[in-house]
Amino acid sequence: MQGRDVNMKIPHRLTMALAFALATVGLGAGQTPALGAASGDDFNDSHFHLTNYIQQGIDVRQFLQIMGSRVHRSTLFGIPLQQQWSHANSGDFAPTYYLQSDAPLYYYSFTDACIAMAYRSLSREEQARFDPMITGFDPADMYGVDHIRRVLTTFPGVFTGIGEFSIHKEFVSAKISGETASLTNPALDRILDFAGEVGLVVIIHNDIDMPFAKQDAEPVYLGQMKALLRRHPKTSIIWAHVGLGRIVHPVQVSAEAAQRTHTQFQIVEAMLTDPTLAHLNFDISWDEVAKYAVASPESIERVSAMLNRHPDRFLFGTDTVAPSGPAPYFAVFDIWAPVWQRLTPDASLKVRKGNYERIFDEGRRRVRAWEAANVK
Ligand SMILES: [Zn+2]
């Protein structure tokens, strides 16, 4: 989740098309171009916030206009946390972001009703382009799972999954009223068990490490995260942002420590080849993640190679929050241009669109079946 527009200088779309045309020269017969200017259909968005930290945002029809013909499908969720406006803290200043006040955040469950009603206001054809997600539950509450069940029974035929919800998130977790969320809390296990039973796709934000972590140290939340994932092998789980944050950087290792500690790439590679984590996928959403990926020629090569090696396990998403128009919305996609150019046509298509369709179509199918059997 982010709270501001992308301010990075972005290449014009024409540049992308041109670069792609150059990159695909020499494609063999039977290979299809990864980015066809003719298709006008660039990606499905696996990570999109319609509203912000004070539950304000854009109308779903405005979002449809932004999507236009470049984006065929998108997830649809708000943000489950509401920044309190404490007069004692900020007086007449009304904070709209969690960094603008010392007052706490609290779970705003009504977000799910807002998302459901926005979805229901659309035509059948428009609805088919969205996968609404349930977010308004407290993952530290043993009753959290009951909220999810209640949303499904109140709004059958709407939701595909749960999330993005956060367990460890820099600056945010410590500000939330009530018990601090934890990867070892049985309340979270109840939620992931239920998601597995229903078929709900799960998008979880969990920083892999603490902010300003020491180089060469094992990422603090990695072990707990892997254990959590392994406790729920039947649940389709997407780890948002590959575990990174604005100041939770990719795990770095010095030459001296390379024998005993793993880099972010090695950690992710090991998880992707671990048969006990076959139900795990990663989203590469958020402009902060895109910036890490394109930070240097080496990072571009490494990220591209990883996506080409594991084309079925990554999903593109923007992680934009109520974007004001097409420019900030598509900027995140365009930052990735150097990586898109290095992907095989197959990997490019899967990361931009195919994996979304496979994972969220399966979620839709299973949730509708559960509703048919369980909602009277
Ligand atoms: Zn996030």
Q: pLDDT tens digits, residue range 255-307?
A: 666 655 678 888 999 999 999 999 999 999 999 999 999 999 999 999 999 99
Distances (CA, A) of 165 to 29, 80, 106, 161, 201: 44, 7, 13, 11, 12
Q: Which of 291, 352, 268, 360 is nearest to 317 (CA)?
A: 352
What is the C-alpha separation between 4 and 97, in angstroms, rounded? 9
pTM: 0.88
Q: Which helix (H) or strand (E) holds 56?
A: none
CA of 1 to the centre of ligand 1 (A): 4
What is the C-alpha separation between 135 and 148, in angstroms, rounded? 8
Residue-level pLDDT at 258: 60
Asked if residues 201 and 160 have their Cβ atoms less than 8 Å apart, the reply is: yes
Task: Give the CA diameter of the chain.
Answer: 68
Burial 55-77 (b: 16+ CB within 10 A, else e): bebbebeebeebbeebbbbbbbb
Residue-level pLDDT at 214: 74
Q: Where are the alpha helices (DSSP H) in 211-263?
A: 222-230
Beta carbons within 10 angstroms of residue 39's beta carbon: 13
CA of 84 to the centre of ligand 1 (A): 20
Higher pLDDT, 32 or 214: 214
Question: What tens digit of pLDDT does each residue of 178-199 get?
Answer: 999 999 999 999 999 999 999 9
Beta carbons within 10 angstroms of residue 143's beta carbon: 10
CA of 242 to the centre of ligand 1 (A): 10
Inform me whether the pLDDT recorded for 10 exceeds 70: no
Residue-level pLDDT at 369: 98
CA of 138 to the centre of ligand 1 (A): 16
CA of 117 to the centre of ligand 1 (A): 24
Residue-level pLDDT at 261: 64
Q: What is the mean pLDDT of residues 41-48?
A: 95
CA of 255 to the centre of ligand 1 (A): 31
Q: What is the mean pLDDT of residues 128-146?
A: 98
Residue-level pLDDT at 245: 79
Q: What is the mean pLDDT of residues 61-76?
A: 97
Higher pLDDT, 6 or 279: 279
Q: What is the mean pLDDT of residues 328-344?
A: 96
Q: How confident is the model at residue 235 (pLDDT cuts 50, 70, 90)?
A: very high
Q: Which of 205, 202, 201 is nearest to 285 (CA)?
A: 205
Q: What is the mean pLDDT of residues 65-76?
A: 96
CA of 241 to the centre of ligand 1 (A): 7
> 71-76 and 130-134 as β-strands: parallel, antiparallel, unpaired?
parallel
39-53, 64-78, 137-151, 173-187, range with the lowest pLDDT: 39-53
Residue-level pLDDT at 366: 98
Asked if residues 58 and 50 have their Cβ atoms less than 8 Å apart, the reply is: yes
Inform me whether the pLDDT recorded for 26 exceeds 60: no
Q: What is the mean pLDDT of residues 194-221?
A: 88
CA of 106 to the centre of ligand 1 (A): 17
Q: What is the mean pLDDT of residues 64-90?
A: 96
CA of 154 to the centre of ligand 1 (A): 27
Tokens standing for 307? 């996506």
CA of 82 to the centre of ligand 1 (A): 15
Distances (CA, A) of 193 to 64, 112, 145, 201, 362: 33, 20, 9, 12, 17
177-191, 204-218, 246-260, range with the lowest pLDDT: 246-260
CA of 231 to the centre of ligand 1 (A): 22
CA of 205 to the centre of ligand 1 (A): 5
Inform me whether the pLDDT recorded for 312 exceeds 50: yes
CA of 19 to the centre of ligand 1 (A): 30
What is the length of the chain?
Answer: 376
CA of 91 to the centre of ligand 1 (A): 29
What is the C-alpha separation between 5 and 143, in angstroms, rounded? 35
What are 45's strand-pairing partners?
A: 74
Q: What is the mean pLDDT of residues 63-68?
A: 97
Beta carbons within 10 angstroms of residue 310's beta carbon: 19
Tokens standing for 51? 């509203």
CA of 115 to the centre of ligand 1 (A): 18
What are 131's strand-pairing partners?
A: 75
C-alpha torsion angle, residues 163, 168, 173, 178 (rounded to 10): 80
CA of 169 to the centre of ligand 1 (A): 8
Q: How confident is the model at residue 321 (pLDDT cuts 50, 70, 90)?
A: very high
CA of 250 to the centre of ligand 1 (A): 15
20-29, 50-59, 313-322, range with the lowest pLDDT: 20-29
Residue-level pLDDT at 249: 81
CA of 26 to the centre of ligand 1 (A): 39
Residue-level pLDDT at 212: 74
CA of 136 to the centre of ligand 1 (A): 15
Asked if residues 197 and 159 have their Cβ atoms less than 8 Å apart, the reply is: no
What is the C-alpha separation between 56 and 117, in angstroms, rounded? 15
DSSP state of 98: G
CA of 164 to the centre of ligand 1 (A): 7
What is the C-alpha separation between 156 and 367, in angstroms, rounded? 9
CA of 53 to the centre of ligand 1 (A): 13
Burial 326-350 (b: 16+ CB within 10 A, else e): eebbbbbbbbbbbbbbbbeeebbbb
- Please return the burial class of 100, using the count of CB atoms within 10 Å of its CB with bins 0-12, 13-18 and 19+: middle
DSSP state of 176: B
